[in-house]
A = this chain, B = another copy of it.
Amino acid sequence: MLRDQVQAVVKAQRRLASLREDEKNVLLTGIAEVLQREKDRIFAAQEEDILRAREEGLAEPLIKRLALDQHKLDGLCRGIEDVITLKDPTRRILSARELDDGLKLYQETCPIGVIGMVFESRPDALVQIASLCLKSGNGIVLKGGREALRTNRVLFECIQQAVKEKNIPGLSPEWICLLETREEVTRMLDLDDLIDLLIPRGSNEFVQYIMDHTRIPVLGHADGICHLYIDEQADIDLAVSVCVDAKCQYPAVCNALETLLVDRNIAPTVLPPLAEALRERGVELRGDEETARIIPCSAATQEDWSTEYLDLILSIRIVGTFQEAVDHIHTYGSGHTDGIITSDEQLAGKFMEMVDSAGVFWNCSTRFADGYRYGLGAEVGISTQKIHARGPVGMEGLVTYKWKLYGSGQVSETYAGSQGKPFTHREIDIT
């Protein structure tokens, strides 16, 4: 029964949560060891997966993502080493306050509990997310892509094997659980009393499906419709180079530029060189009527404004005012990352304050919206939700906090009513 399996994860997680950082690092080292030792089994499993995928006619780029050779395995193990060096995000004191003599309150980070991770295709995601969950003390329920079934199973067995070998008293290998069927995922989405957070990774449709079918909080993003707004005070060369990078550096990802908004006064100056640079990179341009009067482009329809192309296509709209640009972003954007190109610092500040997106950028490429580039260490995901975590999320997205109150017999009656003793509410220095 799935419920029983996940209940076992919940139970094992309670023990995992109480491990010291060095104990968790021992487990992580063990996982890397077992993966290297069992590499022949891993390679055999992925060969079998690739064979089946070819038989079933899977597209070649997807098949490539299934591959797991020595080079990739070494990369995976280096990833585990990186997680070992990351600081344990739990037991960090967020605030500390004396309420009265001998009555001390600490707000302290702790694991969230059980994370549900559903990902498509690439099997390396399994090891990466398992390492992050282990280091942050969270239990994990995983479901990988059907195409990588055999590889995922071996990777999962290696992780459980490492936990068994390191033999930390009371810790069960059941802190991690692998699901293999779609039906199990459907049933997992109903376990909102056992699973605390879902992290889906895959296509927009896939993430949207998860978001629409569960009551469990979801960390993720469906769309990434990123905008740049070229204000009339923009530097032309800077505008061209930032737009080209944002659109072309890697168009298939969520932080790539999809819609360009251009101030009416600067459009005749900036659009011709920009269009030339983009065409050189093979970008198809779709503009509104005014744009089409300045540069050659096909006609953008209403639908273009709300489309994430993930391809070498750019929609362009000319706006008369700053407010019109902001309104366009709020109407059609996805709250992922939106930027302004201007040399007017005050206007940039206004843009960054008014635009309600996870990332608001000034004079740089939207492509910087990324956990690695932000310097967050490993990236758990990118969230366009506003609650819990927003934008690129590092391992701190896997912790919550609890309130610890240390007393010496205090009762609330002492402090009640107009004659009650006042609280001291003195901040305790935690540095």
Contacts and interface: CB of A to CB of B under 8 A. Distances in A.
A154 interface: no
Contacts of A235: 409
B411 A242 contact: yes
A169 interface: no
Contacts of A131: none
Interface in A331-385: 339, 348, 350, 352-354, 356-365, 367-369, 373-375, 385
A113 interface: yes
Interface string A106-143: 00001011000000000000000000000000000000
Given A374-B105, A390-B402, A425-B375, A364 B249 contact: no
Nearest to A424: B375
A404 interface: yes
A387 B197 contact: yes
Nearest to A14: B354
A interface, how many residues as a size bin? 35 or more
A4 B99 CA distance: 46
A407 interface: yes
Contact of A368 (B14, B353, B365, B405): B405
Kindly report how many copies of this chain are found in the complex they form together.
Answer: 2
Contact of A352 (B244, B357, B362, B404): B404
Most buried by B among A360, A385, A411, A415: A411
Contacts of A18: 350, 353-354
A411 B364 contact: yes
A325 to B, nearest CB: 13
Contact of A386 (B196, B215, B241, B407): B196
Contacts of A352: 402, 404
A87 interface: no
A313 interface: no
29 contacts: A17-B354, A17-B356, A97-B374, A103-B364, A105-B375, A110-B353, A242-B410, A244-B411, A246-B411, A246-B412, A249-B413, A249-B416, A339-B405, A358-B403, A360-B403, A361-B405, A362-B404, A362-B406, A362-B407, A364-B406, A364-B407, A364-B408, A364-B410, A367-B412, A368-B407, A375-B425, A387-B388, A387-B400, A388-B388
Interface of A: 14, 17-18, 97, 99, 103, 105, 110, 112-113, 196-197, 215, 217, 235, 238, 241-242, 244-246, 249-250, 326, 330, 339, 348, 350, 352-354, 356-365, 367-369, 373-375, 385-388, 390-392, 400-413, 415-416, 423, 425
